[in-house]
């Protein structure tokens, strides 16, 4: 998606060899016009997939999940919660996720009442790196006997294996922008996505 690639190039910061910081428009401050376009682009790709629900992980996936769900006709968004919130209750599906950015594992939880058997679910997230977050969400969908229609991410880091693995499994994956490498703080983008 051209607008997203341009935003990454104009405002993204490369940290070390493998972290892309996009706080100014996606992860801390949110560019609403850009996120609206992101949602519309995701919805166009999954329009025929009869999506019942969009699933993401708090907090940074919620913005794109929300605009995608809105563009898909106001289907609900469910976001997996991190940590052991008392208000999530005990009747939950859980999965362990290793966080690339926090370098530690945590448990994600989704209330059983928000996913049901046969529900057609689109996973949306901000980044795809090693694929751990999406794997955790897929595990929750399997527990609920819900159906994964595909996954959409704003930014795929092509030098990490998550995207390749999902494609090899035959999962419909939409990446709106792909970062090929980070060199001396410079973010190297792939061409057209």
Residues in contact with ligand 5GP by CB under 6 A are 19-21, 27, 57, 60-61, 100-101, 125-133, 162
Write out the E strands in the chain.
Answer: 13-15, 19-21, 53-57, 77-82, 92-99, 104-111, 120-128, 147-157, 173-183, 186-189
Query: What secondary structure letter does DSSP report for 89?
Result: -
Q: Please, which residues have CB within 8 angstroms of residue 163's CB and are 6 or more apart in sequence?
A: 128, 131, 156, 173, 175, 178
We find the least distance from the C-beta atom of residue 18 to ligand 5GP, in angstroms, to be 7
At 136 the three-state DSSP class reads helix
Residue 156 C-beta: closest distance to ligand 5GP, Å:
9
Please identify, using beta-carbon distances, which residue of 69 and 116 lies nearer to ligand 5GP: 69
Query: What angle separates helix 62-71 from helix 32-46, to the nearest 10 degrees?
Result: 60
Nearer to ligand 5GP, 28 or 47 (CB): 28
Q: Tell the smallest beta-carbon distance from residue 23 to ligand 5GP (Å).
A: 8
Shortest CB 128 distance to ligand 5GP, Å? 5
Which C-beta is closer to ligand 5GP: that of 28 or that of 145?
28
The nearer residue to ligand 5GP, 43 or 95, going by C-beta atoms, is 95
Distance CA 42, CA 76 (A): 15
In the complex with ligand 5GP, the residue whose CB is nearer, 51 or 154, is: 154
Q: How far is CA 191 from the centre of its chain?
A: 21
Provide the minimum distance between the beta carbon of 117 and ligand 5GP in the complex, in angstroms, as a whole number.
26
């Amino acid at each position: 998606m051209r607008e997203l690639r341009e935003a990454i190039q104009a405002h993204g910061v490369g940290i070390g060899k493998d972290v892309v910081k996009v706080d100014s428009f996606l992860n801390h401050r949110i560019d609403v016009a850009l996120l609206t376009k992101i949602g519309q682009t995701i919805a166009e790709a999954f329009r025929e997939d009869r999506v019942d629900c969009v699933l993401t992980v708090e907090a940074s996936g919620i913005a794109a999940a929300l605009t995608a769900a809105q563009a898909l006709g106001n289907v609900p968004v469910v976001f997996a919660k991190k940590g052991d919130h008392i208000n999530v209750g005990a009747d939950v599906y859980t999965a362990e996720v290793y966080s690339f950015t926090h370098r530690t594992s945590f448990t994600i939880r989704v209330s059983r009442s928000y996913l049901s058997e046969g529900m057609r679910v689109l996973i949306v997230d901000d980044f795809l790196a090693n694929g751990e977050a999406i794997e955790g969400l897929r595990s929750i969908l399997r527990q609920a006997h819900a159906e994964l229609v595909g996954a959409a991410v704003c930014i795929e880091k092509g030098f990490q294996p998550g995207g390749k693995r999902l494609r090899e499994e035959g999962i419909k994956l939409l990446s709106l922008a792909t970062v090929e490498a980070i060199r001396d703080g410079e973010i190297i983008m792939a061409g057209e996505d």
